[in-house]
């Protein structure tokens, strides 16, 4: 009887051991599977995070502020001179002739709605040598950016002061529509007189000389 009881106990212990072993194996499998799942998920997440950086996307276009679009300086008042490394220019006076008599024979008139406007200008050449300047580099513009060239013009090279409005203008017209090659040679110092034919409907014009900043001209100005 004791042998049978002892046998039962041994069998019971063995059965319990097997059951515990079986449960232990079953308990490990889900942990391993979960770890594998997590590892795969982390790998996928890492791949999805890295992928966009590996895509060859074009760079965005530069912002407008990065575009080289240097603005022209604001026009200066007529009482001031303008200059760069080539020239210094100052408008010394204005004239409003009712007619022009460049050839000394016939009188010319500006026509209805127009006027003649003359400018006396001091020009200093800073280059150290004579400069061949075409007359189409001497001009006026209005606020609409319409450009007007002188009809007549003359230049006197001198180191002494002269009233540029007393310089005798050339007989022929220097406007590029009539003579596109009309030009003058600028010495170290000199004075220029130019006469424009302009519409009266612009109260202000802006004088331009080569690539210098513009000079504001109020043609109603009187000294």
pTM: predicted TM-score of the whole model, two decimal places: 0.66
- What does the pLDDT read at residue 95? 93
pLDDT value, residue 16: 57
Query: How many other CB atoms are found less than 10 A from the CB of residue 220?
Result: 9
Q: Among residues 118, 81, 82, which one has the least CA distance to residue 102?
A: 118
Q: Tens-digit pLDDT profile for the chain (223 aa)?
A: 544 556 566 565 565 555 545 544 444 344 334 444 444 544 444 444 444 444 444 434 333 333 333 466 788 888 899 999 999 999 999 999 998 888 777 888 999 999 999 999 999 999 999 999 999 999 999 988 999 999 999 999 999 999 999 999 888 899 999 999 999 999 999 999 999 999 988 888 999 999 999 999 987 754 4
Which residues fall within 8 angstroms of residue 185, CB to CB, at 6 or more apart? 130, 131, 132, 133
Sequence-separated (6 or more) residues with CB below 8 Å from residue 174: 135, 149, 150, 151, 152, 153, 182
- Distance separating alpha carbons of residues 64 and 4, to the nearest angstrom: 100
Picking from 151, 173, 171, 175, the residue whose alpha carbon sits closest to that of residue 105 is: 171
pLDDT of residue 27: 41
Q: Which of 212, 209, 210 is nearest to 119 (CA)?
A: 209
Cβ atoms 204, 214 nearer than 8 A: no
């Amino acid at each position: 009887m004791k042998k049978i009881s002892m046998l039962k106990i041994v069998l019971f212990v063995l059965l319990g051991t097997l059951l515990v072993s079986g449960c232990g194996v079953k308990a490990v499998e889900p942990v391993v599977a979960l770890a594998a799942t997590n590892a795969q998920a982390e790998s996928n997440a890492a791949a999805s995070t890295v992928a966009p950086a590996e895509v060859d996307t074009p760079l965005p276009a530069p912002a407008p502020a990065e575009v080289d679009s240097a603005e022209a300086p604001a026009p200066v008042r007529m009482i001031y001179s303008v200059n760069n490394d080539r020239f210094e220019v100052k408008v010394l006076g204005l004239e409003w002739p009712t007619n022009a008599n460049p050839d000394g024979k016939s009188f010319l008139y500006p026509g209805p709605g127009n006027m003649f406007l003359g400018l006396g200008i001091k020009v200093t050449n800073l280059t150290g040598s004579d400069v061949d300047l075409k007359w189409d580099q001497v001009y006026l513009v209005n606020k609409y950016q319409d450009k007007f060239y002188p009809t007549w013009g003359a230049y006197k090279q001198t180191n002494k002061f002269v009233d540029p409005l007393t310089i005798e203008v050339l007989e022929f017209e220097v406007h590029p529509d009539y003579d596109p090659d009309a030009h003058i040679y600028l010495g170290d110092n000199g004075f220029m007189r130019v006469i424009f034919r302009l519409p009266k409907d612009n109260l202000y014009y802006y004088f331009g000389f080569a690539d210098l900043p513009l000079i504001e001209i109020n043609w109603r100005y009187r000294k």
